[in-house]
Each structure stands twice: as structure tokens, then as C-alpha cells.
Amino acid sequence: MTVEARPDYAETVEHPMTPFLRMDRIPHVWCPGCGIGTVVRCFASALEKSGIDLDKVSVVSGIGCAGRTAGYLKLDGFHTAHGRAIPFATGLKLGRPELTVTVLSGDGDLVGIGGNHFIHAARRNLDLLVVLINNFTYGMTGGQNGPTTPLSARSSTMPFGNFETPFNLPHLAASSGAPYVARWTSLHVRRLTWSIEEALERKGFRFIEVVAPCPVLYLRLNKLGDGVQRMRYYHDEAEIRNGADPGDAAIDFQGKILCGVFVDEERPTYQELMDEHYGNVLGDDYVPMPLEGGMLGGG
Amino acid sequence: MSTFWRRPLDADRVRPPHGEVLILADRCKGCEFCVEFCPKDVLAMSKDFNRKGYHPPEVVKSGVCMACNLCETICPEFAIFTTTTPESPPAAALPAPVLEGVAP
Ligand SMILES: Cc1ncc(C[n+]2csc(CCOP(=O)(O)OP(=O)(O)O)c2C)c(N)n1
Ligand code: SF4
Ligand code: SF4
């Protein structure tokens, strides 16, 4: 049954995600079989399930296909310069501590050009939820080799196969100090939604990697078929092992994809450490940033 | 004996949710995710074209949808969703559910 076939439905029944999406901008730009839309859907579902006040949530993206996500979510959204989603989010969170600040962007954006910001935000334990959509390539600019392209995979800049060792992202995040680290694929819609919901309840630098298909570039250049074939590969090769050592999570070309929540710990955030430290050193002269933001220093 | 294992003891009393699938055909980009992963094989790709030139899915097994929402959650285009309808027969009247493969 299509909604068009039942005009009464089209008028009375809305897609359940309507309150969370800028439906006037749908259909979105992503290609058929691209995994980014599914991740957006899971992110929106997690917001719904968490019952969080949407006026107190913001989403920050960088540049790239995955960087378009902020523009489709009905939240305060910021589409920042390439690689700079985390620095922007850092300022936003420190200036408005009451907000739940999330970052939703691509692998090239967050750990290629933005890699330095990524490791330092994890090291400082900034209170950010970072969801990284990993399609193993730079999709928007034509399938170039990126920091996550598996060894021997072809890309438009490595037509004879990639010889650079890619990042193992959960390992990178965990060894930089992130207290929450998880990986899923875009097939794991329920676990991904639940994991985002869980991460929304935690504090500090929370990192969720989502492996997702890019059919028109990564898959086409590697003759790996379409999006649905990729989802079957995730079905066959994803192995869920919660609590696994992130050091074991490297992804080989067409190899196993280790998924799960690898790290779930508590560690004081940057802001808590700052408040404690200056409180000790400066006593009453230290005025922490008010929750709703504002001027520092009482005047 | 095997029927004993497979059928919940309260099957004559518990009514499984019954869903109706709604497809916003013109939003679909024909990726087939919903068709491939529906655990009850409710959907198939239709031969029709939508306004954008893609084949949207269609319901081929009406009455078996259990409103699990998998199609809705996996669709990258926000083009399909389910609603729950109350008038379901008791589970005992239905064939035992066959849930193969993953429950993603
Ligand atoms: C400073 C700067 N350098 C380079 C670019 C070109 N550029 C745009 S998107 C992109 C890659 C994005 O890759 P990724 O984050 O993996 O996103 P995807 O498109 O794969 O989703 C690049 C290099 C840019 N916009 N700005
Ligand atoms: S180029 Fe790749 S990542 Fe970008 S929208 Fe298309 S399929 Fe998705
Ligand atoms: S998952 Fe969505 S876009 Fe893909 S075929 Fe089904 S309805 Fe169309």
C-alpha cells in the first residue's frame, strides 16, 4: 500500500520522524543505497527515545556528504568548515554548558583534516557526543583515499590499491582517552540507536563509529556491488563483541568488522577539571561559566 | 513436541501487534534495504516507477506485518513506515513466526 494510493493517509499520517527532521528539505542529496540517511534516522530515533528537550540539543557537522547531516535535523545545527566541527562544538559546549552538543560528520572530515582536533578533544575529555560515519573514502569529492581506506582497497587517488595503513578508529579514540567508544554498521539499526541513546546519557568525549556504504564511489571503484550487497557483507562479516579490546578492531579490506561498545567508563570532563582546579586555586574569585552562558568574571 | 517449543504458552491469549506498511513511493530511491531485511518478507520491489524513476517497494504479503519497524528504521530516505492496527487474531491462529538471520 502506498500513501499515494490512500490520499486520506497522506493527509493524516506523517512519517514518525517528522518532528525531528526538516522535512521541507527531504528528499536529501545522498545517493541511492548510501548509508548516511539510515544513521540520521537512528540518531533521530535515539533523540526521541531519550526524551531529551530538543531545544537543548545541537548538532555540528563539518564538510562532506556526511557533513550534510546537520542540515536535515530539526535541531540547532551548524555546518562548519571542513574538519572544524569539533573545535566549533568545543566552543559551543564551553560557552553554553547546558546544551547537549553532538557532532555528526564523516571520516575524512573528523579524522583526516580534523584528526588533530579529534585526538585532543578525546584527550581533554570534552563533553561531546561524536558520531562518525565511516564510508572508507572521501565521498563528496570523488572517492579519494582517506585515513580509513583499508589496505589494498582502490580509491580514485590509489587506482592500484591503497598502501597506507588506515586508522583503527576505536583504538585511536580509546588510546586518546575517550571514556565511551563504540562501533556499529548501518545494518545494526537497533543497536546503533540504543548505543546513541546510551551515549546521550553519559558525559565526556563519547565516540561512536558507524561503518556505512558509499555505493557510487568506494563500492564502485572496488567492484563491490551496491548498497544492499554491502549490507549483506555487514551481516556476514560484522562480529559483535562488547568490551573487546579496541586494539583488535582494525578493518582489513573485505575483512571482519568488529562491533560493540568497547569502552564505557567514567572520567572527569574538561569542564569539571577546570572548575575544580580554578576553584581550588582561586577560591571565590573563580566564577564558573553559568549553565546558560554569559559573561565571565561578574562584570 | 517441536510445536510445543516453538509456540509461546500464552499464544492463545496474547495478540501480536499487527502492522500496516505505508510507503511514500515518491521519496524512495530503490535501495532495496527494506525488502532485503524485512523478517516477514512482507515487501518486494515493484515494477512501477516513481516520479524520480526508481522502483519503490510494494506490499506482497498483507496481514503478516508485525509492526517491528525494521523497514522504517533502515530506510535511508524516510520513505516507509508502519502503523499498528489493533484487530489482530491471537497468535495461535497464525503460523509460527520464522525469524531467520540477524535481528539487526
Ligand atoms: C579546507 C578544505 N579542504 C578540502 C575540501 C574538499 N572536501 C570537501 S568534502 C571532503 C572530504 C569529505 O570526506 P568525508 O568526511 O569522509 O565525508 P563523505 O563525503 O565521505 O561523507 C573534502 C576533502 C574542503 N571543502 N575544504
Ligand atoms: S557519494 Fe557516497 S557518501 Fe556521498 S552521498 Fe553518494 S553514496 Fe553517500
Ligand atoms: S529502504 Fe526506503 S529507499 Fe530503500 S527501497 Fe525501501 S522505501 Fe525505498
Closest by Cα among A276, A271, A277 to A289: A271
Give the pLDDT score at B1: 42
In the predicted structure, residue B16 carries a pLDDT above the cut 90? no
Q: Which residues, including other chains, have CB under 8 Å from residue A157's CB and lie 6 or more apart?
A: A144, A145
Residue A53 confidence (pLDDT) above 80: yes
Average pLDDT of chain A to the nearest whole number: 95
CB < 8 Å from B in window 6-35 of A: 9, 13, 15-17, 21, 23, 26-28, 30-35
Cell of A155: 580509491
pLDDT confidence of residue A81? 98
pLDDT band for B94, please (50, 70, 90 cuts). Answer: low
Rounded Cα distance, A137 and A224, in Å: 14
pLDDT on residue B99:
44
Q: What is the ipTM of this complex?
A: 0.93
CA A278 to chain centre: 32
The pLDDT tens digits of the residues spanning A123-139 come to: 999 999 999 999 999 99
| pLDDT over 90 (residue A19) | yes
Residues of B with CB under 8 A from a CB of A: 20-27, 29-33, 36-37, 52, 54, 56, 58-59, 62, 70, 72-78, 81, 83, 101-104
Q: Where are the domains of chain A?
A: 18-285
All 3 cell numbers of residue A10? 497522506
> Residue A111: what residue type?
V
Q: Is the pLDDT of residue B12 over 70?
A: yes
CB B43, CB B58: distance < 8 Å: yes
Structure confidence at residue A14 as a pLDDT band (50, 70, 90) = confident
Domain ranges of chain B: 18-84
**DSSP secondary structure string for all residues of A28-49:** -SPPTT-SHHHHHHHHHHHHHH
Q: Which CATH number describes the domain made up of B18-84? A: 3.30.70.20
Nearest to A64 by CA among A113, A105, A115: A105
- What does the pLDDT read at residue A25? 95
Task: Verify whether the Cβ–Cβ distance B74 to A1 is below 8 Å.
Answer: no
Q: Considering only CB atoms, which chain B residues are within 8 Å of A190?
A: 73, 103-104
A18-285: CATH, from 3.40.50.970, 2.40.128.20, 1.20.970.10, 1.10.1270.20: 3.40.50.970
Of residues B33, B78, B101, nearest to A228 (C-beta)? B33
pTM of the model: 0.92
